[in-house]
Amino acid sequence: MVRAVAALVEAESLDLVTVNAENAAGGSGLTPSNYDELIAAGVDGITLGDHIYRRRAIMRVLESKMNIVKPANYPDESPGREVAYIQPMRGPEVALISVMGRVFMKPVDCPFKAIDRVLAKVAGRTNVILVDFHAEATSDMQLMGRHLDGRVSAVLGTHTHVPTADETIFPGGTAFQCDVGMTGPYQSILGRRIDRVLETTRTFNPTTFDVADADVRLSGTIVDVDETTGKATAIRRLMMTEDEVQQLVDSRPSIS
C-alpha cells in the first residue's frame, strides 16, 4: 500500500502524511528498513505505540531521526522524542505528538498530564498540532478528545485496528475520531490469520499468529486545518481496497 501515498497526495492535495507504523514489521514493531520505505514513499511523520520497542534495531532511528515520536507518557529515559516538528511543502510547521491510553493497556504514566506538559513546550511555536492517541477503550479516546478540544488541531485514535464511524469536529475546533483503522488485511482478526487466532482462543492450543493476506485495505482520515488558527475545518474517513489503490496509482499521469 505504500505505493498509494504519492497518488493520494496528488489526488487529495495533501500537505502532510503521518502514519502510525508500530505494526509495519510483519505485524509487530518497526525496523529501520520499514522506516526508510515509508519515508521514501512520501510519509512525513511517524507515530508509534505499545509495540514501539519490539524490534531493537529501531532504537537508532528513534534517537537520530526528527520525524518519529514515542508515546509522550513513556519514561523520560526511554529512547525517542516526545514531539516532532515537521515542515510541510505548504503551510506552517506541524507538531506531531503521540500519547498512549491506560484502560486495558500496559501501565504507563498519565496521558493527560503528559500531553499537557508537551503542549506547554509547543506553545508559541505552532498552532497546528496533531495528536495520535494510541488506546484501547473508546471511553479513553473520547476523554482525551474532549480534554484537548480547542487546544490541538486533531486527536486521531489508533491501536484497535478497527475504523470507527464517529469522525467529528468538537465545538472548540478539534477534529476527532476514536480510531482511524488499519492499513492491512481485513479478512483477519486484527490483521492476523483467522484460523490461528480462533484455534488458540477456543482451545488454548498455542499457534503462531501469522499476518493474514486477504482483503487488504488502506484506511485513514483526512483533516483540513486552518493554518492560522490551527482549528479543524473538515474531517473525512478514507478506506480503499487494493483494486481502488491500483486504479488511483494507474490514473497518475506518467512522467517522461
Q: Is 62 helix (H, G, I), strand (E, B) or coil?
A: helix
In this structure, what C-alpha cell is assigned to residue 157? 485514535
Q: Judge contact between 53 and 30, C-beta under 8 A.
A: no
Rounded CA gap, 68 and 46, in Å? 5
Q: How far apart are CA 155 and CA 55, in angstroms?
A: 27
Helix axes 138-148, 111-122, angle to 10 degrees: 30
Q: Which of 51, 134, 159, 161 is catalytic?
A: 51
51 is catalytic: yes
Q: How far is CA 77 from CA 55, 124, 162, in A?
A: 18, 26, 32
DSSP H/E element including 4: helix 4-12
**Counting beta carbons within 10 angstroms of the beta carbon of residue 44, is it exposed (0 to 12), middle (13 to 18) or buried (19 or more)?**
buried
250 touches 10 (CB < 8 A): no
Interacting residues of 107 by C-beta distance below 8 A, sequence separation 6+: none
Q: What amino acid is encoded at 56 in this protein? A: R
- What size, in residues, is the chain? 256
What would the grid cell of residue 59 be? 532504537
Residues serving a catalytic function are: 51
